Amino acid sequence: MNGFRKSLIVCFVAATFLAAPLETFAWEASGCGGCGAAYFYTCADRFCDEVDSFPGWSQTFCLGCADCSEDYYKSAAAGGSENSWIDASDIHFRNSHCTTAWDAFWGMNLSGIPFTDGTVTPGEAFDVWGDNDAEWIASKCCSLLRDSSKGYWATTMDGLHLLLGYKTSSYGATNFGRTWARKMEKTTIHFLWWTWTFPGQTVTQAWFNTTDETQPAGTVARVLAETNACYNDHLWGQGSVLWPDPVDDAWYWWWDHTAGSPEYLFVNDLREMNVYEVAPRTVDEKYVKQIGAAFGLTGEVGDLCDSFIIINDKQVLEVSKASGHFYFHDDSKLFVADLSVGQFPPTQAFERADSFLRQNELLPNDAGDHSVEFDTLTEENEENGEIGKVLYQNTNVVYARQLPGDPIGKVMVSVAGAGARIKVYLSEDGDVMGGMGNWRNVINIGAIPVMKSDDAKSFFDRYGEAISIVKAQALYDETKVDLGKATQAYYEHTGRARQHELVPCWILQDVEFFMEGQPVVTADVFIPASESYFPPVATIIKPAEFQTFDYGEPVGFDCQVEEGFGTPPYNFLWESNVDGQLSTQQRFTSSSLSVRCPDQSCDCSPLPHTIRLTVTDAKGSESNDSVQITILGECDECAHCGDVNKDSTFNFKDVAGMADGWLSQSGHTGPR
C-alpha cells in the first residue's frame, strides 16, 4: 500500500479525535455473515457489536447473507470495490462456509469464499488488501488457508498485517466472534477499593486462545503475516501495533496452531451407552483461588458477568461460572512471536506437565491418553515456495478424557469437544505459561440404546449438518464417508457453555466434502448416537424469504420444529438485525418493524432485515434459521452514492474524489 497515504489518514483521524473525542471515532470494524446457516451472521454481528463498544472504535457495516457481495472483497481490476468496504475498516471478520472454485487469475482450483453473487478466490484480490485502511482480515470457515492455497492468499496482502483463518475444518461456534473480540480488549474493572486491568491480548493470541476454547480435536488455526513482527499486533488503542505498515515483498510468514487432543479410541460395537449427567460444581472465590495458587496467582478474585478472574500483570486466570473450566495465559510469553525464543524439549514435556497437574490436584481420574504438540512458524517465499526460517514454539501437553461407555464398565470411549481437553503450555525454560482444564463432573444415571454407524450415516445423508452436534463450515454438494473409521464417543461442549448431559455420539472420522467434484475439506462429523439427543430442526414458515411489507403493515411470524428432533419443551427467540429481539413465542404478529435505510445509495431503496430464529430444546441443543425481508418506506436522509465527500451535494469535487479512489486502487497515486 501507499504508506504515506495511510499515515495521512491516521494523523488526520488522530488530530480530529483529539479535537472532538466525544463525537469522532479513530478506528473502524466491519463484518459479514455468509449464507447457509443463521449463526454465521449472528457470530459476525456479535463481533462487530463487541468491538463497537471499545473506546475509539465504531462499526462501519455488518451484513448478512443477501447484503454482503463478493464485490466488497474483490479488487477494482477484478470489477470489485474492496477499497470502499472491507479495506475501509481497520479489522474485518467474516464467518461463513468456504469452498473450492476456479481462479482464472492463477489458472487453477483454489479455496474460495462463497457469496450469493459468486465466489472470491485469491486472484480476484491480488495485491490489494491493506492498501487503503485494513490491518487485519479474518475468515472463520473451513480450510480457506489450506496448504494448497495459503501462498496464493498471501499474494492478496499489500499493507495488510495479518490474514487469519484455518488450515483445516473450522466448526460453527455462535459466540466465536464475540469471544475473540473480548480477548483483544484491554479492560479496567473497579470494585470497591480494588482495581483490575485486564490486558488486551494480541490479535493472534486471541485467535489461538479462542480456537482452544471452542474447537474440537484436530482443528488447526493458521495466521498469515507480512512479517513476523505483525504477530504481536494488538488492536488499535489496546496495545502496540506495528507501524509503519510492513513492506509488501515476496516473503511472508504462516503460523499453525492446533487445538489438539490425542486420537479417539476406536469403539464401534456398543448397542447401549451410559448416560452421563453433569453434576453442578460450586464455582466460588475459594474454588478460583485454589486454581490460582497452582499458577502462582494470589491476588483478589474479580467478578465478570460470566467468569471469575485473577490478574497479575500479564498473567490472567479466567474461570467459567457455567462449568468451572479454567483458562490461564501468560500474555508476555504464550503465542508471542519472538525469533530468539526456542521451545521446551518435547521429549521432556509430558513429565513436566504431569508433575505440575498432579502436584496441584488438577489431573482428573478420567484423564486418558495424552499427546505432545507445538506451534510451527514458517517463513516462505510466495513466488517460488522457498522456505526460509522455521521456528517451533509453545510446546504443550494435551490430555483427552475417557469414560466407560458400556453399562458394565469394560469398554472405554473418548470424550470429544473443546470442553474435554486439558492443556499445559510450557515456556522454553519449563515454566507453565498457559493452561486449560477442569472438565465437567458427571454422574452415570443409566444407559440408553444407540443406533448403528450406518444409521448415523443415513441421518447425516438426509439432514446434513442440521443434526450435527457441531457444524463443519464447508459448502459442499457431496460427501464420502468411510464407516470403517466411525467410532462411538461422547461430546462435551466448550467450558463457556452450560451443558446438562454429555452427548453420546458417532464420530464419522475424516469425512471428505466436495463441491462440483472438487475437494473442499476433510473433517470429522459428530452425529448423536440416539435420536433423543438430536438437536431440534427448525424452519421459518412465515415470513417468506425476500418478502416485502409496507411500513406499519402486520408481519406474521411462525416456525415449525420437525417431529422427532430435539427434546421438548422448546424456547424460541426471534431477532432482527435492525430492531433486535422481536419475540420469544413460536408464532406472533408485529407491525413495528423499522424501515432500514442506507446511509448512502444511488436510489435510496430500503435495505432488507435479516430475521433470525433460534430454537433451544430442554437439553440445551440449538437450531437456527433465517430469512431476509424488506420493510418499504421513505429514506429521506439517504445521501446520494456520488456524494463522495459527504457534503450533501453531488458536484465536481465528488468526481475528483472518485478519480482519486480509482488511482489509489490501481496503484497510480500522485503526490499528497
Q: Judge whether residue 22 has pLDDT over 50.
A: no
What is the torsional sign of CA 662, 667, 670, 671?
positive
Please report the pLDDT score of residue 4 as a whole number.
Answer: 34
pLDDT at 74 over 70: yes
Q: Give 361: exposed, middle or buried? Use CB within 10 Å, 0-12, 13-18, 19+.
A: exposed
Asked if 390 and 343 touch (Cβ cutoff 8 Å), the reply is: no
Contact (Cβ atoms closer than 8 angstroms) between residue 61 and residue 94: no
Task: State how far Cα 489 lies from the chain centre.
Answer: 25
Which of 557, 628, 634 is CA-nearest to residue 595?
634
Report the distance separating Cα 469 and Cα 535, nearest Å.
Answer: 7
For residue 290, the tally of other CB atoms under 10 A from its CB is 12
Residue 455 grid coordinates: 444409521
User: What's the CA gap between 353 and 251, in Å, rounded?
Assistant: 36
Name the grid cell of 560: 415449525
Q: Is residue 58 over pLDDT 50? A: yes
Q: What's the mean per-residue pLDDT of the chain?
A: 89
State the cell numbers at 468.
450435527
Give the per-residue pLDDT at 625: 87
The beta-strand segments (E) located in 134-241 are 136-140, 162-166, 187-191, 194-198, 220-225
Question: What residues contact 176, with CB distance under 8 A and at least 6 apart?
Answer: 43, 95, 140, 210, 214
The whole-number average pLDDT for the span 50-78 is 93
**pLDDT score recorded for residue 65:** 85
**Residue 376: all three cell numbers together:** 510451527
Show the 3-state SS of 420-465. CEEEEEECCCCCEEEEEECCCCEEEEEEEECCCHHHHHHHHHHHHH
Residue 399 has pLDDT above 80, yes or no: yes
10 Å Cβ neighbour count for 351? 10
C-alpha cell recorded at residue 338: 519472538
Complete DSSP assignment for 279-329: -----SHHHHHHHHHHTT--SPPEE-SSEEEEEETTEEEEEETTT--EEEE
> From residue 180, how far is each of 166, 235, 254, 328 by CA, in Å?
15, 12, 20, 16
User: What is the C-alpha to C-alpha distance for residues 469 and 505, in angstroms, rounded to an integer?
Assistant: 9
CATH code: domain 538-632 is 2.60.40.10
Q: Could you report the per-residue pLDDT of 469-527, keeping only the tens digit for each?
A: 999 988 899 999 999 999 999 999 999 998 999 999 999 999 999 999 999 999 999 99
Return the C-alpha cell found at 95. Answer: 464467518
Determine contact, residues 219/143, Cβ cutoff 8 Å.
Answer: no
* Contact of 104 with 152, CB cutoff 8 Å: no
Q: What is the mean pLDDT of residues 153-162?
A: 97
- Which pLDDT belongs to residue 603? 72
Per DSSP, the residues of 358-371 read HHTT-S-TTEEEEE
pLDDT at 40 over 70: yes
Sorting pLDDT into bands at 50, 70 and 90, what band is 608? confident
Nearest by Cα to 43 from 178, 153, 171: 178
In this structure, the strands spanning 220-225 and 251-258 are: antiparallel
The pTM of the whole model exceeds 0.95? no
pLDDT at 17 over 80: no
User: Is the model more confident about 25 or about 350?
Assistant: 350
Please, which residues have CB within 8 angstroms of residue 448's CB and are 6 or more apart in sequence? 272, 273, 275, 504, 530, 532
